[in-house]
Structure 1
Amino acid sequence: MNNLQSLLQTIDSFVWGPPLLILLVGTGVYFTFKLGLLQFRHLPTALKLVFTKDKSGHGDISSFAALCTALSATIGTGNIVGVATAIKLGGPGALFWMWLAALFGMATKYAECLLAVKYRKVDDKGQMLGGPMYYLRDGVGSKFLATMFAVFALGVACFGIGTFPQVNAILDASEISFGVSRELSAAILTLLVAFVTLGGIKSIAKVAGKVVPTMAVFYVLACLSVIIMNADKLADAVQLVVVSAFTSTAATGGFVGASIMLAIQSGIARGVFSNESGLGSAPMAAAAAKTDSCVRQGLISMTGTFIDTIIICTMTGLALILTGAWQSEFAGAAMTTHAFATGLNAEYFGPMLVSIGLIFFAFTTILGWNYYGERCVVFLMGTKAILPYKIIFVGLVASGAFLHLDMIWLIADIVNGLMAVPNLIGLVLLRGVVIEETKLYFAAKSNTSGVATAA
């Protein structure tokens, strides 16, 4: 058993090692410069489009609902636990590398969501089908890469980010903060997941559209309270993040010290784990959006990475640094809880805020990944397999309460990394399509504005 675990650890270190991280960031760097710094120049436009309805578009849900569905899957334990893990491993400098990965990741997210809309199809039930499986099959012309992606993504939905880590985060938070037994929490959670997911994408998007913005605002305000109460240390905290990104961080308190390489690796890996840019998950939600423009949806989707990492992860990171929690003996969710308790001078209220945030973020992540798994099942086996898949998924959520295997987390991390490989190959091979579509869209926009000005 120990041999198998060490083998999985070796595979995990290899999968999430420098080659994949270089490929992930490298793809983002390539698209950033090839698209003329699009994520910086057009971010205000993209944020405006999030709240503008595309009345002429065809699809299942609004662009805003598609973004919320994608965000529901990405804003989760990664924003609360992942940031703490990155800083515990790599020091405050890890936050800087998270920012860098996210800024380049926005271009990757734009490209993959543009392709999702460009190559989407309609299934026999009239619902939109799209995502890396379709642009790999119909754009790249590789059924093998498409199937590989669908199998790995289904693995992530059933055994990775989509179920066990989220279920355990919810049950732990409910037990520690509210004294609710794990069995009762598991029963309530299973019923809620079954109730929402059986309604399909419209039901998931409806819940995500209400819960995600509310919880994101609630959590950001809680973090801002910590930052405002420690405002006198803010300039020093930001300076520490930037300086630590390029120098080794010495051991202090419960922090064992970190090299620059460790700061880079933990920051980029946890950043990608949190915002999922390049992994190929968000395109499956983007494909359902009511729009006739693949570029428009790409712009809207890239704001997801901005909201997830540049806003929410930054808030968590600053709270950890300002309160000195990063130097404490705590790790993961306990470290973030300690930061809120210290930062707000509230022994009970602070931890409760973190627990409520964790419960809701983790719940919406389960919903988002349920949908992603369903799209993969349709690709692999057709619409007849949707109901059996949903029953199995709900069963996995219920069983998550009783599983405490380190091996499951390792398997989850491995499939998570593996699903990025075929997707990134597809993005590189279809780069010409992304560039061409972008040029056509902005050329048409400038022509329209030119005609309007002349008139």
Structure 2
Amino acid sequence: MSLESLNHFITFYFMFPLILITGIYFTLKLRFVQITKLKAGFSCLMHSNHKSEGDISNFEAIATVLAGNLGTGNISGIAVALATGGPGALVWMWVMAFFGAVIQFAGCLLGVKFRGQNQKGEFVGGPMYYIDRGLGQKKMAALFAVFAIIGSLTCGNLVQVNSLSLPLGEIGISPYFVGLAAALFVGYVIIGGEHRVAVVASSIVPFMAALYVTVACLILSYRFEAIPAALTLMISKAFDFSALMGGAAGFGVAKAIAAGFERGLFATDSGSGLAPIMQASARVKSAFEEGIVAMVAPLVVMVICTLTGLVLMVTGATEVEGLKSTMMCTWAFEEGVGHVMGKYIVIVSLILFAFTTILAWAYCAERAFEYLFGLKRVAYFRWFFIAVIPLGTVAHVELVWQMADLAIAAMVATNLFGIIALSGHVFEESEDYILGAASE
């Protein structure tokens, strides 16, 4: 069995039902918190309490999360989803994001509830801490930390640099230069510690998201008449369950579900445990507050993913033979804008997206390494992470993506073990805010 087939098997027969069942359970028990408290999440995001305990503001925390989310998964990852699962994959990405948001809520709530402080006085948390402190399962906590480190080196490092080097190579920039430059810039930021990562992320993320969304919306406005047909095709390909019992059409629906969930996991990181690590150090009044703030990220990410998918479809990029990954996106934006400038906008966005994603993953990997080996040894891993960056320019693109998917699947499995086992704490912390309010 190939790695690609193994990924699809794990996603369709294990990850899909696990996330769906967990998401439905938490959604019902928390009375659709990802809908009812989304507005409150945005409010808390913009009004962080500086007197609360923590190292960074809510805005810096969510910007760091989005820095990890808004990577190549929102550009080249959508091209991969459409190529492997067809238009229906986008619909299943939304299903993944909807249920992933409530899982993200639970994880970030637990991340704050069971967080601690290291020798520097910095707040640290995440799945390894709530699995350890909440359940006493040190081996399972260590296992998650190991998976997080592997994920950081594949998904958060090699994949990002690999996807970055492809379009830059097309305009004549040597991949070796790309790898070296990326290593230098990332090294400068992560050696400065968590606060520098948060400051850089909160400065770059709003700008890069606004630039990309604006251009995508302009392209869609130019081709507005093609959008209804694209949306109809997405829905029909996603929900053709009459064909699911057999035949080529049934195989197509299965691939759409698998590809949608794989890319949805990759793009939003919902359930992977990254957000609880990054948001554990935020200044918040309560664990519940950080939970509802966490739900903002999957929504923002999926809006950008949907815009990317629609641009690829209305410009006809998905029908052009030989286009894959990032190259499909650069072609679509150049075609949509009607000028080579569209291609360069994607390249600039990709540079910013990849850069901030590497920073966010590096921070999470450092926290996982710190949990396993102590704060004093983190510097060794930091330099190792920087040294790996240039290797992404020569890595085999399909192999790197498949390894990244396997690493994230392993993170999700161990993280969901902790979240489900600690669900009583989630409901208890939420009772006054959700269940109590509903009875008034």
Q: Equivalents in 2 of 1:352, 1:405: separation in Å?
A: 21
Q: How does 1:380-419 map to 2 (within 5 A)?
A: 380-404=372-396, 407-419=399-411
Q: How does 1:253-268 map to 2 (within 5 A)?
A: 259-268=252-261
The answer to whether 1:95 aligns with 2:87 is no
The answer to whether 1:113 aligns with 2:108 is yes
The TM-score normalised by the length of structure 1 is 0.90
- Which residue in the other structure is 1:52 paired with? 47
Q: Equivalents in 2 of 1:79, 1:190: separation in Å?
A: 22
The answer to whether 1:81 aligns with 2:76 is yes
1:441 Cα offset (Å): 3.3
Alignment length, in residue pairs? 434
Is there any run of 5+ residues in structure 1 with no aligned partner, and where?
1-5, 251-255, 451-455
Q: Counterpart of 2:272 in 1: which secondary structure?
A: coil
RMSD across aligned positions (CA): 2.2
Closer/same/farther in 2, CA of residues 79 and 231 from structure 1, 3 Å limit: same
Q: Which amino acid aligns with 1:173?
A: P
- Which residue in the other structure is 1:376 paired with? 368
Q: Which amino acid aligns with 1:18?
A: Y
C-alpha contact 1:247 1:259 (8 A) present in aligned 2:
no
Q: Counterpart of 1:162 in 2: which secondary structure?
A: helix
Closer/same/farther in 2, CA of residues 321 and 249 from structure 1, 3 Å limit: farther
Q: Which amino acid aligns with 2:368?
A: C
C-alpha contact 2:167 2:326 (8 A) present in aligned 1:
no
The TM-score normalised by the length of structure 2 is 0.93
Aligned sequence identity (%): 36
- Which residue in the other structure is 2:167 paired with? 173
Q: Which amino acid aligns with 2:430?
A: T
C-alpha contact 1:91 1:257 (8 A) present in aligned 2:
no
The answer to whether 1:201 aligns with 2:200 is no
C-alpha contact 2:50 2:57 (8 A) present in aligned 1:
no
- Which residue in the other structure is 2:283 paired with? 290
- Which residue in the other structure is 1:41 paired with? 36
Q: Equivalents in 2 of 1:273, 1:188: separation in Å?
A: 25
Q: Equivalents in 1 of 2:10, 2:251: separation in Å?
A: 22
Q: Which amino acid aligns with 1:122?
A: Q
Q: How does 1:43-442 map to 2 (within 5 A)?
A: 43-158=38-153, 160-177=154-171, 179-247=172-240, 259-309=252-302, 311-329=303-321, 330-346=323-339, 348-404=340-396, 407-442=399-434
Q: Deviations over 1:273-323 (max 9, x none)?
A: 1101111111100101111311111111111011111x1101101111222
Q: Which amino acid aligns with 1:16?
A: T
Closer/same/farther in 2, CA of residues 130 and 236 from structure 1, 3 Å limit: same
Q: Deviations over 1:219-267 (max 9, x none)?
A: 11111011100112222222222222223899xxxxx996222212211
Closer/same/farther in 2, CA of residues 283 and 247 from structure 1, 3 Å limit: same
Q: Deviations over 1:66-88 (max 9, x none)?
A: 11111111111111111111112
Closer/same/farther in 2, CA of residues 271 and 191 from structure 1, 3 Å limit: same
Closer/same/farther in 2, CA of residues 78 and 393 from structure 1, 3 Å limit: same
Closer/same/farther in 2, CA of residues 63 and 215 from structure 1, 3 Å limit: same
Closer/same/farther in 2, CA of residues 33 and 249 from structure 1, 3 Å limit: closer
Q: Deviations over 1:376-431 (max 9, x none)?
A: 01100110111111111111113333444754443332222111111011111111
Q: Equivalents in 1 of 2:275, 2:417: separation in Å?
A: 17
Q: Equivalents in 1 of 2:391, 2:228: separation in Å?
A: 46
Closer/same/farther in 2, CA of residues 232 and 12 from structure 1, 3 Å limit: closer
Closer/same/farther in 2, CA of residues 317 and 356 from structure 1, 3 Å limit: same
Q: Which amino acid aligns with 1:169?
A: S
Closer/same/farther in 2, CA of residues 229 and 83 from structure 1, 3 Å limit: same
Q: Equivalents in 2 of 1:14, 1:262: separation in Å?
A: 10
Q: Equivalents in 1 of 2:19, 2:438: separation in Å?
A: 32
Q: Equivalents in 2 of 1:352, 1:257: separation in Å?
A: 39
C-alpha contact 2:159 2:400 (8 A) present in aligned 1:
no
C-alpha contact 2:27 2:33 (8 A) present in aligned 1:
yes
1:337 Cα offset (Å): 1.7
Q: Equivalents in 1 of 2:198, 2:189: separation in Å?
A: 10
Q: Equivalents in 2 of 1:14, 1:266: separation in Å?
A: 11
C-alpha contact 1:116 1:132 (8 A) present in aligned 2:
yes
Closer/same/farther in 2, CA of residues 230 and 425 from structure 1, 3 Å limit: same
Q: Deviations over 1:14-44 (max 9, x none)?
A: 4334212211222112111110011111111
1:444 Cα offset (Å): 7.7
